[in-house]
A and B are shown apart, each in its own frame.
Chain A
């Protein structure tokens, strides 16, 4: 090597080293044009239709409610200030009438104003979809271009009437209105009749059938060509594995939205999400089935911050009491004694949940809110106890020969726990139960069904004897017990009447088959279906607590379900390029995680900005 080339090489090397050093020292920065990469469930090939079972539209992103509700246990009408299309609202007529005023700044992503006509159309759509009947909506009237009045069905007294309307997403009449016939409101009026006039009942049945047909043939199948959104974003590109959301320049709080583009990748599998999180490729992501070791491993990625927020959801093991021998309370109690809930939680959901302490059908936070210390102390925690289980089984004629338990009919006592493929926490919990029950001498196996849709259908049809079930679904105590003593136990409200369908009726939806009345220690005879329904009325806190105490005692004593763990929302955010996550605002975290991905909701309330 001659001198010139040596000098040239040295200079080149020095330049490269300096450049590399500069690169290594550079701090990552982002601007509003830096795409925010996150995950979402994408229905491959699905339309941009909120009502399609395979739809691709996202609450808090391209769907905006009238108001963002808070997940508060004891106040079901709590809402965040400043979010949603309504600028204000007012209830009157004893809570049976709601008047809403739209924000004058509300506009769709095509620049048109959001008007009361859009709201009225949306409510008609919710009738077609079968939702509005659930919150007892009787009529909707546009009082002006930005003012709408809602009235509850006469005679009904539903305490979540206002809340249910305010949390609905408003759809553009220009896109969805075409599916509604001109006489839609006369059809709806006919359909909600609940009196005794035979002619009107016949008309109501025909109108309900018309709505159902409309739902299946037109609303479900609608495939808009463009996404018209009143939320902070609209879909600018939709592909099977990725959706690009672009900022809606007409959003009512557009100045709060500091990210121009959100890139949503399809979270097709846990392992894909883990890979992206480990590579720091997504800025927010969550997944079930994360072991503690995995959480520690993912936390090593620069910028990754772990969050863990208690959620108002529980995992439960439910019994179909119509199936032998689960109709015997002693059998259900024995199983409760045999399952070590601590071990189950520790193995199945150590990061995405907390172990359940009270077997009363509620999440533990609700138990703390509603029961006093003496009521809590009266609950049986079903601490693992094989002797107690054996005694209970023997008391109803079960016998143990060798290492195997036999039913009073002389059959091998065997349990088949039904489960769903892909629900890893459930599968792992089922595996632990299998181990615990087999060790005790109850022949137990786990059957995993290929899809949740199939599982749900079979469950509703009463085909499973022992199965997993999601409890609570929200902080509202009525929901919690309605999940148990509502539709799955044969109870449904028809107008102002509570109707009961026995499990023996095919396709009646009653697969729990809990007795209609039971005697409960300290409370006498109790009808849990009726009590649960009372929780949906306008009650004082004291009245609510009295009912909840009875329902907790029933559930604890008769064990229609065994609550296994309380769920938590657990995931990671990455702070390399974006900052100001609402990780310390627990109420916002728990509420916006219901909208997925939550970035739109976070920004709407002033959080998350590019790191300058």
Chain B
């Protein structure tokens, strides 16, 4: 006579508990020193953009007695053409530059992912219409379009700048996301979900999006660097709402004033360049950590 066994109602033993996202992230980041450096750089600039401008008055002081002054304790990165501290400009200017770039990335990812997934999943006339719009976006040369747009739009706020960069930059991502969606929609688990009668929105948000999230996350970070290059490029070209602490404006004025030929003002030109380089460096170092965090197949045991 066999003894009836009680149904197993217990929890998964602790040793088999799925690690939390924080644990996975921490493990992924600390696995390689380069990733730690990348995260530290990104955190540093993020904190600078959030809190840095609070350390300075809204209107940075000018000082005609200290034009292009060399580095000193008072001005560790020297001063600019009007005697304003370059460090203060870098810090206060970071908020616009980084927030516009982050918003540009969010808009790019938002538009691109939505268009790509909807197009790839529904196919038919929806796909035709979205892809023709995408082709149109792709055929427009982005940077010249931005220059033209800047003549009618002031780009005074980072939201406006981010939105425009996002609106002009989502085409490539939409195409790539559509390809991935097309591939996924033929897989068995999507067929099964359809067979179970799950709604399209459930399938897209719960089945498809999680599977392409590593790719989207990678593109989000890369879009931030793309956003920085595009907006700083616009400011550097002089098609700008003038803000003397914008990194692109700093580069523009440094170049056109010949800062590169006078050693004492070299830091005025080098500082914004170094910041752009550092942000890009930080993002590149962090990319593979994000890939590992979001893609279970890449996690090392």
Q: Which residues of A contact B (CB under 8 A)?
A: 269-271, 274-275, 278, 289-294, 296-298, 343, 346-347, 419, 421-422, 424, 427-428, 430-432, 434-435, 438-439, 445-450, 454
Interface residues of B in 248-298 (CB under 8 A from A): 253, 255-258, 260-262, 264-265
B62 contacts across to A, CB distance below 8 A: 343, 347, 431-432, 435
From A270, A291, A424, A445, give the contact of B265 (CB < 8 A).
Answer: A291
The minimal Cβ–Cβ distance linking A296 to chain B, given in whole angstroms, is: 8
B258 contacts across to A, CB distance below 8 A: 270-271, 274, 289-291, 294, 297
| Residues B151 and A454 in contact, CB atoms below 8 Å apart | yes
B242 at interface (Cβ–Cβ under 8 A)? yes
The minimal Cβ–Cβ distance linking B240 to chain A, given in whole angstroms, is: 5
Cα–Cα, bound, A454→B150 (Å): 13
Q: Which residues of B contact A (CB under 8 A)?
A: 58-62, 64, 67-68, 81-83, 147, 150-151, 154, 156, 237-242, 244, 253, 255-258, 260-262, 264-265
| Residues B265 and A293 in contact, CB atoms below 8 Å apart | yes
Cα–Cα, bound, A385→B105 (Å): 47
Cα–Cα, bound, A291→B257 (Å): 7
| Residues A445 and B240 in contact, CB atoms below 8 Å apart | no
Measured CB to CB, the nearest residue on chain A to B150 is A450
Cα–Cα, bound, A449→B261 (Å): 27
Cα–Cα, bound, A454→B151 (Å): 9
| Residues A346 and B64 in contact, CB atoms below 8 Å apart | yes
B60 contacts across to A, CB distance below 8 A: 435
| Residues A431 and B64 in contact, CB atoms below 8 Å apart | no
| Residues A428 and B240 in contact, CB atoms below 8 Å apart | no
| Residues B82 and A432 in contact, CB atoms below 8 Å apart | yes
| Residues A428 and B253 in contact, CB atoms below 8 Å apart | yes
Measured CB to CB, the nearest residue on chain B to A420 is B238
B81 contacts across to A, CB distance below 8 A: 291, 347, 428
Cα–Cα, bound, A275→B82 (Å): 23
Whether A447 touches B260, Cβ cut-off 8 Å, given contacts A343-B64, A427-B253, A435-B59, is no
Cα–Cα, bound, A293→B257 (Å): 10
Would you give 25 A-B contacts (Cβ < 8 Å), ordered by A? A269-B255, A269-B256, A270-B258, A271-B255, A271-B260, A290-B257, A291-B68, A291-B81, A292-B67, A293-B265, A294-B257, A294-B261, A297-B262, A347-B62, A419-B242, A422-B256, A428-B81, A428-B82, A435-B82, A445-B242, A448-B239, A448-B240, A448-B241, A449-B151, A450-B150
Cα–Cα, bound, A292→B265 (Å): 12
The minimal Cβ–Cβ distance linking B111 to chain A, given in whole angstroms, is: 27
Whether A450 touches B147, Cβ cut-off 8 Å, given contacts A271-B255, A431-B82, A435-B59, is yes
The minimal Cβ–Cβ distance linking A412 to chain B, given in whole angstroms, is: 14
The minimal Cβ–Cβ distance linking A352 to chain B, given in whole angstroms, is: 12
A454 contacts across to B, CB distance below 8 A: 151
| Residues A446 and B59 in contact, CB atoms below 8 Å apart | no
B255 contacts across to A, CB distance below 8 A: 269-271
| Residues A447 and B64 in contact, CB atoms below 8 Å apart | no
B68 contacts across to A, CB distance below 8 A: 291, 293
The minimal Cβ–Cβ distance linking A346 to chain B, given in whole angstroms, is: 5
Cα–Cα, bound, A427→B62 (Å): 15
Chain A CB within 10 A, most for which of B59, B60, B239, B255: B59
Cα–Cα, bound, A428→B59 (Å): 15
Cα–Cα, bound, A290→B147 (Å): 27
Whether A347 touches B67, Cβ cut-off 8 Å, given contacts A432-B62, A450-B239, is yes
B151 contacts across to A, CB distance below 8 A: 449-450, 454
Cα–Cα, bound, A294→B67 (Å): 12
| Residues B67 and A291 in contact, CB atoms below 8 Å apart | yes
Cα–Cα, bound, A347→B81 (Å): 7
The minimal Cβ–Cβ distance linking A55 to chain B, given in whole angstroms, is: 25
| Residues A422 and B238 in contact, CB atoms below 8 Å apart | yes
| Secondary structure dominating the interface of B | loop
Cα–Cα, bound, A454→B255 (Å): 24
| Residues A270 and B257 in contact, CB atoms below 8 Å apart | yes
A432 contacts across to B, CB distance below 8 A: 62, 82
The minimal Cβ–Cβ distance linking A54 to chain B, given in whole angstroms, is: 20
Chain B CB within 10 A, most for which of A293, A297, A430, A449: A293
The minimal Cβ–Cβ distance linking A476 to chain B, given in whole angstroms, is: 32
Cα–Cα, bound, A450→B151 (Å): 7
Measured CB to CB, the nearest residue on chain B to A344 is B64
Chain A CB within 10 A, most for which of B150, B258, B260, B264: B258
Whether A421 touches B64, Cβ cut-off 8 Å, given contacts A298-B261, A438-B59, A450-B151, is no
A346 contacts across to B, CB distance below 8 A: 64, 67
Closest 6 CB pairs of A and B: A421-B238, A294-B258, A293-B262, A438-B59, A446-B242, A274-B258
A293 contacts across to B, CB distance below 8 A: 67-68, 262, 264-265
B256 contacts across to A, CB distance below 8 A: 269-271, 289, 422, 424
| Residues B241 and A294 in contact, CB atoms below 8 Å apart | no
Cα–Cα, bound, A1→B258 (Å): 52
Cα–Cα, bound, A269→B240 (Å): 18
The minimal Cβ–Cβ distance linking B65 to chain A, given in whole angstroms, is: 9
**16 more A-B residue pairs beyond the given contacts A270-B257, A431-B62, with a C-beta to C-beta distance below 8 A:** A271-B260, A274-B258, A289-B258, A291-B81, A291-B265, A298-B261, A346-B64, A347-B64, A347-B81, A424-B257, A431-B82, A435-B60, A445-B156, A450-B147, A450-B150, A450-B239
The minimal Cβ–Cβ distance linking B269 to chain A, given in whole angstroms, is: 10
| Residues A445 and B59 in contact, CB atoms below 8 Å apart | no
Measured CB to CB, the nearest residue on chain A to B238 is A421
A269 contacts across to B, CB distance below 8 A: 255-256
A270 contacts across to B, CB distance below 8 A: 255-258
The minimal Cβ–Cβ distance linking B114 to chain A, given in whole angstroms, is: 33
Measured CB to CB, the nearest residue on chain B to A439 is B59
Cα–Cα, bound, A102→B236 (Å): 52
Measured CB to CB, the nearest residue on chain B to A294 is B258
| Residues B61 and A435 in contact, CB atoms below 8 Å apart | yes
The minimal Cβ–Cβ distance linking A386 to chain B, given in whole angstroms, is: 15
| Residues B242 and A347 in contact, CB atoms below 8 Å apart | no
Measured CB to CB, the nearest residue on chain B to A428 is B81
The minimal Cβ–Cβ distance linking A276 to chain B, given in whole angstroms, is: 11
Cα–Cα, bound, A292→B154 (Å): 33
The minimal Cβ–Cβ distance linking A427 to chain B, given in whole angstroms, is: 7
The minimal Cβ–Cβ distance linking B154 to chain A, given in whole angstroms, is: 7
Cα–Cα, bound, A198→B150 (Å): 48
A419 contacts across to B, CB distance below 8 A: 242
The minimal Cβ–Cβ distance linking B53 to chain A, given in whole angstroms, is: 15
Cα–Cα, bound, A450→B156 (Å): 15
Cα–Cα, bound, A434→B61 (Å): 11
Cα–Cα, bound, A427→B253 (Å): 9
Cα–Cα, bound, A534→B22 (Å): 82
Chain A CB within 10 A, most for which of B58, B64, B257: B257
The minimal Cβ–Cβ distance linking A338 to chain B, given in whole angstroms, is: 13
The minimal Cβ–Cβ distance linking A417 to chain B, given in whole angstroms, is: 9
The minimal Cβ–Cβ distance linking A448 to chain B, given in whole angstroms, is: 5
A448 contacts across to B, CB distance below 8 A: 238-242
Cα–Cα, bound, A431→B243 (Å): 8
Measured CB to CB, the nearest residue on chain B to A350 is B67
Cα–Cα, bound, A296→B83 (Å): 18
A422 contacts across to B, CB distance below 8 A: 238, 256
A343 contacts across to B, CB distance below 8 A: 62, 64
Measured CB to CB, the nearest residue on chain A to B262 is A293
Cα–Cα, bound, A435→B89 (Å): 13
The minimal Cβ–Cβ distance linking A294 to chain B, given in whole angstroms, is: 4
B253 contacts across to A, CB distance below 8 A: 424, 427-428
| Residues A294 and B262 in contact, CB atoms below 8 Å apart | yes
From B150, B242, B260, give the contact of A431 (CB < 8 A).
Answer: B242
Chain B CB within 10 A, most for which of A419, A427, A430: A427
The minimal Cβ–Cβ distance linking A331 to chain B, given in whole angstroms, is: 21
| Residues B59 and A427 in contact, CB atoms below 8 Å apart | no
The minimal Cβ–Cβ distance linking B243 to chain A, given in whole angstroms, is: 8
Measured CB to CB, the nearest residue on chain B to A417 is B242
The minimal Cβ–Cβ distance linking B146 to chain A, given in whole angstroms, is: 12
| Residues A274 and B82 in contact, CB atoms below 8 Å apart | no
Whether A291 touches B262, Cβ cut-off 8 Å, given contacts A269-B256, A428-B81, is yes
